[in-house]
């Protein structure tokens, strides 16, 4: 009689899963270029929370010697030279005066107020159309609600559209590379 010593027993189903799913997944993960390990970090003095901008992100920036905003997509970070490579140029971190970001909540509130105003007018018109009651006619109050809602949405969208990060004494830009 022969004895076999088996340390681990894998069922055929387990071997199939390992060979067809787990091992290829591990090899794909290991083969991916980890270019997302370089960041532009926005730091504020006295705050532990920082904001990180990765490669491939579009940025809106203002240079020290220019007054208008420029837009570019980040292609790479040159850590040793302290520069950002954009699609058409290189930016030194010391040349950047400010960065500007879109605020999502402003667009959400703006579109919500537009929809509210349009819905108010639509329901007021439909209500009068179907019941023909002179007391429920489309009034100047309904028009006022629609116009004020639209105007308020437009104002909020314009006023709160951007958040500006001004580089100075208390705010810094830093390039970070955490690749292995």
Average pLDDT, the chain: 85
6 versus 51: the higher-pLDDT residue is 51
Six token digits for residue 14: 């387990």
Q: Which tens digits make up the pLDDT trace of 109-162? A: 999 999 999 999 999 888 888 887 777 788 899 999 999 999 999 999 999 999
Say if residues 63 and 95 touch (Cβ distance below 8 Å): yes
Six token digits for residue 3: 């004895």
Of 19-23, 84-88, 100-104, minimum mean pLDDT range: 19-23
As a 3-state breakdown, the chain gives helix, strand, coil percent values, each rounded to 5, of 45, 30, 30
Distance CA 47, CA 1 (A): 73
**pLDDT of amino acid 6:** 55
Instruction: Report helix, strand or coil for 85.
Output: strand
Instruction: Identify the CA nearest to 56 among candidates 40, 80, 41.
Output: 40
The CA distances from residue 20 to 16, 17, 23, 79, 117, in Å, are: 6, 5, 7, 40, 55
Q: Which tens digits make up the pLDDT trace of 149-173? A: 999 999 999 999 998 899 988 999 9
Distance CA 122, CA 38 (A): 51
The answer to whether residue 1 scores a pLDDT higher than 60 is no
Q: Rounded to two decimals, what is the model's pTM?
A: 0.62
The answer to whether residue 98 scores a pLDDT higher than 70 is yes
**pLDDT of amino acid 3:** 58
**pLDDT of amino acid 36:** 53
């Amino acid at each position: 009689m022969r004895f076999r010593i088996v340390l681990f027993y894998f069922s055929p189903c387990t071997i199939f899963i390992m060979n067809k799913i787990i091992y290829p997944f591990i090899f794909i993960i290991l083969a991916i270029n980890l270019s997302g390990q370089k960041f532009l970090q926005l730091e504020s003095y006295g705050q532990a929370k920082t904001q990180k901008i990765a490669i491939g992100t579009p940025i809106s920036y203002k240079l020290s010697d220019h007054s208008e905003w420029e837009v570019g997509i980040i292609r790479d970070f040159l850590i040793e030279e302290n520069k950002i490579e954009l699609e058409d140029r290189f930016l030194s971190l010391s040349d950047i005066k400010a960065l500007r970001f879109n605020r999502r909540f402003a667009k959400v509130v703006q579109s919500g107020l537009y929809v509210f105003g349009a819905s108010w007018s639509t329901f007021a018109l439909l209500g009068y159309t179907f019941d023909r009651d002179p007391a429920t006619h489309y009034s100047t109050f309904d028009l006022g609600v629609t116009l004020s809602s639209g105007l308020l949405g437009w104002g909020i969208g314009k006023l709160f559209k951007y958040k500006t990060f001004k580089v100075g004494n208390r705010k810094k830009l830093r390039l970070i590379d955490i690749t292995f």
